[in-house]
Structure 1
Amino acid sequence: MLNKRISLIALGMLSATQAMANDQAESKGFVEDSSLKVLLRNAYINRDYKDGNPDKAEWGQAAIGTYSSGFTQGTVGVGVDAFGLYALRLDGGKGRTGAQGIDFFKQGASGNAADDLSKFGGAVKFRISSTTLTYGDQMPELPVLNYDNSRLLPESYTGTLITSKEVKGLVLNAGHFTAESRKSAEGRDSGGLKSINVLGGSYQFTEQFKAAVYASDVEDVLKKQYVNANYVLPFNKEQSLTLDFNGYRTKLDNSYVRENGVTGDDNKIWSLAATFATGAHSFTLAHQRSTGDSNLGYAYGGYQRGQNRVGDGGNTIYLANSYWSDFNAEDERSWQLGYGLDFSTYGIPGLSYNFAYVRGDNITTSTSEGGTEREIFNQFKYVVQNGPAKDLSVRLRSSVLRVSQKSSEYNVSGNELRVFVDYPINIF
């Protein structure tokens, strides 16, 4: 059914001849609008687990090259996108790789991680007016299919995505993807995805109010719906209040429940965050709640081959209380107090700090009820403002996560440290 809806919407998008916008009319050409960028990334993650669990750490250097052509001129514009990825493992890796949440380099059958990995991808794109159809290897950024770029190398997906911006403020998406490339492994189809259909859009109603609705269908795994509402209330030039609501409803397929030993098939999770910004400071208060009978809680991301996960992208969690822990267990309720500081006001442009304290309770597992967890999150980030290293960023992030014994089936206590150095280079 979702496949048919996508086909009908695609035809409607591509036949929109009386559109309000027309990006294709402003095309300068295939070469003239092209760009080539390289991101050099050095990344390190260390997890000091508690309760007798072995520590895990990975360190690597990556080069991520992306090329995007412009569109040929005319009624139908044609272009191409391509990427090339390479990663080199810098640590010894003995006994410290293989953590599902780090996953820089996938372990082989021998249990050893690869010394390096490389992969390439490409896509062809067509544009009519302000509607673009892209077929091939892509990195989608949608609330129900969002590739993971928070580790050493990014994930990617192979398929078709249509994006329409014919009406000012309205963005529509429809897509069908048939393969997933794992961020830690070579190959176009290393993630185990059969297929995923996505459909939805967002609309900027006013300068202050924006909303979005999306749906997805992961073949033989689940169906998911997402809704968002975001409202910004400005008080003056220096102060504002932002209210952000996000919610997912997930229904697991019966075959997935049976084959993976899952209990229950339904989950609903939502978060509401209020952020007050005043000058260089921001203060956040958020609440998040998970309900339903699935013991997986809110299921997302991961890879279907041997991980009991779903394959819809490692960043497909547009929720307020997602840090090291996602606070997404069965029946879990969580609260967040957050703080942010922009040091540019104090004479250090490019430096920022973020803090969050999140506490979750009411966690249900197969053996207990009423479990708890809590996390203290700290992050400093500095972006070089000028000179030869302009735009180079250094991000230092730490989390202290403590999980009660009742919740040990769901999560693990530990201390996490992440150090990321990103240097983007615009070739042209």
Structure 2
Amino acid sequence: MYSIRYAALALVFSLPQLIQAQEQKQGFLEDSSLSVINRNFYFNREFRDPDAAQKYRAEWAHGILARFESGYSQGRIGFGLDAYAALGIKLDSGSGTYGTGVLPVDGDGQPEDEFTYAGGAVKARFSETELKIGDVIPTAPVFATASTRLFTSTARGLQVVSKDIADLSLDAGYFTAIRDGSGSTNRDGSIDLTYAGHVDAPSARYIGGSYPMSERLSVSLYGANLEDVWDQYYANILYALPLAGDAALTFNFNVYDSRSEGKELAGEINNLAWSLSAAYSVGAHTFTLAHQQVNGDTPFDYILMDGINPGDSIYLANSSQYSDFNSPNESSVQARYDIDMAAYGVPGLVLMARYIKGDIDGSGYLGSDGPYGYAAASGKEWERDLEARYVVQAGPAKDLSLRVRYASHRGAGGDVDELRLISEFPIEIF
């Protein structure tokens, strides 16, 4: 098993030599790139609830991801290839402290000492329309794989992105499986839900796009189907208002409408969730206020990677490090402050602090033994997040990023303190 995995990893590193040995049309090689990303991830979560079954989770791992992206062959329709290989190494995961989703576990439930996997996609381009088939990384607000652990997750299927119509960006996808990439290396992983848990949807599809109505106003619309689970619709309105000097005011409105369909694998769902934020920026400072509202007796839910790590397809303003503030009929408010330290002589350093408070009413959920039974209660919650990120601006370590994320959460959903230390160093080989 390991010999096959290491062979796959070696294949990606040797791709430039393999390709140069073949006579390819101009464009396939000249527009190709090979990069290697080193990512180091420490995750520490402490449960403050005295009745919690597990009091403490901590894992530390290092990941190396090699990614090759070819250009396109010449001709009316150009063809290309994307390929990647990943190597993950456990640095620390003590007895009883695993379960952060940073490392996969073996058959005995213990974290793997190391793991590897590889994948790729073939692609074709016609004019400004690109088709990819294989392992891809969708980022649509209704279907986005995760990027919050050691490696970014991938989805198996096809994706079409088109910019043939002036200013209009279109995106469509159809997927049948997910590879989590950190907590699991299974290429045939199930498409599940973050809060309902394991539903194993047979497929997921979406279509949508974004369009700038003017220099200040842009809109996005998407529709998605998670087979036998739901139909989901999403809209976004982004409006930027310049003010005097270097000041600006930006409004960001997001709304999701989710309704169960087919076999209703997650039960009956009728959920409308929206958020509105207003960000005032002046110089190095940005002050943000946000309100988020969930209307429905189930949580606003989104995809989960093979039953392990949540995806990124939640664009609501109050989705934060630990909680999404998306419980049944939950109303939440946020206050946030960002500062870019470049204005004070430290380019590359950005600091953030935010506080979110929510009120939940889950009393309307009737299926207390159903997939959302745990949410059938009322309560309050709050979260405080602190974050610092620094990117080296010059020298041998240029583009090295160092990130510290700390969160404290109390109330419904658990009393938790969480620390994440993340470093990432990309190397562009060509």
For residues 221-236 of structure 1, the aligned pairs below 5 Å read 221-236=229-244
Q: Which residue of 2 aligns with 1:284?
A: 288
RMSD (Å), alpha carbons: 1.8
Conserved in 2, the CA contact under 8 Å of 1:332 and 1:363? yes
Q: CA deviation at 1:254?
A: 5.7
Match of 1:153 among 151, 154, 157: 151
SS in 2 for 1:43: strand
Q: What's the TM-score once normalised by structure 2's chain length?
A: 0.85
Mapping 1:10-409, distance limit 5 Å: 29-52=27-50, 53=52, 54-98=55-99, 102-183=100-181, 184-192=183-191, 193-253=201-261, 255-257=263-265, 262=267, 264-294=268-298, 297-303=299-305, 314-323=311-320, 324-364=322-362, 369-403=377-411, 407=412
1:301 shift after superposition: 2.3
Distance 2:90 2:376 in 1: 40
- Aligned-pair CA distance for 1:303: 4.1
TM-aligned CA distance change 1:330 to 1:75, over 3 Å? same
Whether contact under 8 Å (1:254, 1:265) holds in the other structure is no
CA displacement 1:242-267 (0-9 Å, x = unmatched): 0000111112336345xx6x5x4111
2: distance between equivalents of 1:255 and 1:108? 32
Cα offset, 1:208, TM superposition: 1.1
Aligned residue-pair number: 382
Q: What is the one-letter code of the residue matched to 1:202?
A: S
Q: Which amino acid aligns with 2:418?
A: E
Could you list the runs of 5+ residues in structure 2 that have no partner in the other structure? 1-24, 192-200, 369-374
| Whole-angstrom CA distance in 1 between matches of 2:112 and 2:202 | 25
CA distance, structure 1, for counterparts of residue 155 and residue 248 of structure 2: 38
Partner Cα distance (1:285, 1:270) in 2: 14
Give the whole-Å Cα distance in 2 for the aligned partners of 1:315 and 1:241: 26
Which residue of structure 1 lines up, in the alignment, with residue 10 of structure 2?
Answer: none
Q: Which residue of 1 aligns with 2:427?
A: 425
In structure 1, distance between residues paired with 2:119 and 2:350: 34
Q: State whether residues 271 and 319 of structure 1, in contact with CA within 8 Å, keep that contact through their aligned partners in structure 2.
A: yes
Q: 1:59 Cα deviation (Å)?
A: 1.0
Secondary structure in 2 matching 1:344: helix
Answer yes or no: is the 8 Å Cα contact 1:148–1:155 preserved in 2. Answer: yes
* Structure 2 partner of 1:3: none
Contact 2:133 2:159 in 1 (8 A): yes
Superposed CA deviations along residues 12-57 of structure 1, whole A, max 9, x for unmatched, are: xxxxxxxxxxxxxxx9600001111111000011111111222111
1:395 Cα deviation after fit: 0.4
Distance 1:178 1:423 in 2: 32
Measure how far apart 1:213 and its partner are.
0.5
Going from structure 1 to structure 2, the CA distance change for 1:300 and 1:334 (only over 3 Å counts) comes to: same
Preserved CA contact (<8 Å) 2:179 2:306: no
For residues 223 and 108 of structure 1, do their structure 2 counterparts lie closer, same or farther at Cα, with a shift above 3 Å needed?
farther
Unaligned runs of 5+ in 1: 1-26
Specify the alignment match of 1:413 in structure 2: 415
Separation (CA, whole Å) in 2 of partners of 1:235 and 1:43:
40
Rounded Cα–Cα distance in structure 2 between residues aligned with 1:126 and 1:400: 46
Q: 1:252, 1:125 → 2: CA distance?
A: 33
Q: Which amino acid aligns with 2:68?
A: Y
User: 2:390·2:402 contact (CA, 8 Å) conserved in 1?
Assistant: yes
**What is the deviation of 1:162?**
0.8
Q: How far apart are residue 220 of structure 1 and its match?
A: 2.0
**Worse overlay, 329-338 or 355-364:** 355-364
- Bigger drift between 109-118 and 349-358 goes to 109-118
TM-score (norm 1): 0.85
